[in-house]
């Protein structure tokens, strides 16, 4: 069970993986009807913005699944175990946009505008550019090996990615004061433990770093400091 923006194309269209092209067609039409107008069914649960987001996802899904060639290609990707959650996690998109992979950046600088030379640009660089986002995150996660995710570290990671705290607050719906206190390690001005864990998890996911480890690490510092005071 996932949020719609973590779903695979079949889930987005609400069809089975062996759906016929007619079923895909029908599902697409129905989704368009549901999410493009002012449907009585949607307005009280989804904002216009969210409906638009769903529609984009539906369009994407339809574009891929309605042609045998692209659909087969996609099926292979699914089968290859690129788990649906890894496909297009929107929460990683944001940082990726603001901080494009350094390889890609430098490649642009070196590569001349000339089409011919572009074609013979070294292969490894090209893969780096086209690498699925999920793989990028994994790689980053690896580079954090040995790092203990305390507040100050989270702050550094966030700033390195050029993400403002406001954006985090807006996207995760976490109160900005809490975020500030989390980063500043003001352990006594944080919400109750259960809530704190949830916030940390969401925040870490948004940054695209290992959320479980973040919660673990942070809570270790948290209990240590809270314990000392008592």
Partner 1 sequence: MVFESGDNGNGRGSFNGQIWAIGGGKGGTGKSLITSNLGICLSRAGKEVLLVDADLGGANLHSCLGTSFPNVTLSDFIRKKVPSIKNVTINTGIPHLSLISGAEDYLEVANTNYAQKMRLLKQLTYVESDYILLDLGAGTSFNTLDFFLIADCGIIVVTPEPTSIENAYRFIKSVFYRRLKRIVNNHGIREIIAEVMDRKNELGIKTPIELISHIEVIDKAIGQRFKEEVLKFKPKLIINSVRTRGDINIGFSIKSTCLKYFGINMTYVGYVEYDESIWQAVRRRRPFLLEYPNSRPAKCMERIAKNIIMNKELDEEFIL
Kindly list the residues in this chain that would bind partner 1 in the complex (CB under 8 A). 1-4, 14, 26, 30-31, 33-34, 39-46, 54, 172-175, 191, 194-195, 197-198, 201, 211-212, 215
Helix (H, G, I), strand (E, B) or coil at 22: helix
* Minimal distance, residue 37 CB to partner 1, in Å: 10
The nearer residue to partner 1, 23 or 131, going by C-beta atoms, is 23
* Minimal distance, residue 2 CB to partner 1, in Å: 7
* Minimal distance, residue 33 CB to partner 1, in Å: 6
* Minimal distance, residue 127 CB to partner 1, in Å: 32
Are the C-beta atoms of 150 and 156 separated by less than 8 Å? no
Cα 119 to Cα 54, 167, 187, 189, distances in angstroms: 36, 38, 54, 56
- Alpha-carbon gap, residue 35 to 52, rounded angstroms: 7
Which residues touch 50 (CB under 8 Å, ≥6 apart)? none
The nearer residue to partner 1, 141 or 211, going by C-beta atoms, is 211
Sign (positive or negative) of CA dihedral 201, 205, 206, 210: positive
Can you read off the two tokens belonging to residue 202? Answer: 């969401």
* Minimal distance, residue 140 CB to partner 1, in Å: 21
The nearer residue to partner 1, 23 or 185, going by C-beta atoms, is 23
The nearer residue to partner 1, 83 or 106, going by C-beta atoms, is 83
Helix (H, G, I), strand (E, B) or coil at 129: helix
Axis-axis angle for helices 211-229, 151-160 (nearest 10)? 140
The nearer residue to partner 1, 1 or 80, going by C-beta atoms, is 1
């Amino acid at each position: 069970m996932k949020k719609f923006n973590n779903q695979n194309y079949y889930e987005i269209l609400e069809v089975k993986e062996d759906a016929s092209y007619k079923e895909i067609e029908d599902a697409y039409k129905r989704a368009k009807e549901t999410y493009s107008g002012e449907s009585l069914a949607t307005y009280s649960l989804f904002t216009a913005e969210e409906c638009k987001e769903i529609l984009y996802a539906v369009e994407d899904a339809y574009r891929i699944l309605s042609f045998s060639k692209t659909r087969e290609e996609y099926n292979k990707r699914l089968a290859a175990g690129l788990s649906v959650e890894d496909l297009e996690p929107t929460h990683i998109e944001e940082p990726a946009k603001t901080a494009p992979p350094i390889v890609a950046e430098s490649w642009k600088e070196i590569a001349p505008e000339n089409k011919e030379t572009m074609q013979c640009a070294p292969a490894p660089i090209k893969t780096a550019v086209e690498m699925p986002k999920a793989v990028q995150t994994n790689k980053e996660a690896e580079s954090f090996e040995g790092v203990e995710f305390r507040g100050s570290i989270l702050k550094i990671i966030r700033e390195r990615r050029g993400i403002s705290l406001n954006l985090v607050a807006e996207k995760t719906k976490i109160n900005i004061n809490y975020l500030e206190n989390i980063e500043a390690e003001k352990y006594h001005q944080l919400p109750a433990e259960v809530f704190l864990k949830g916030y940390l998890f969401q925040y870490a996911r948004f940054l695209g770093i290992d959320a479980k480890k973040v919660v673990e690490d942070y809570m270790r510092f948290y209990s240590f400091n809270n314990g000392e005071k008592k």
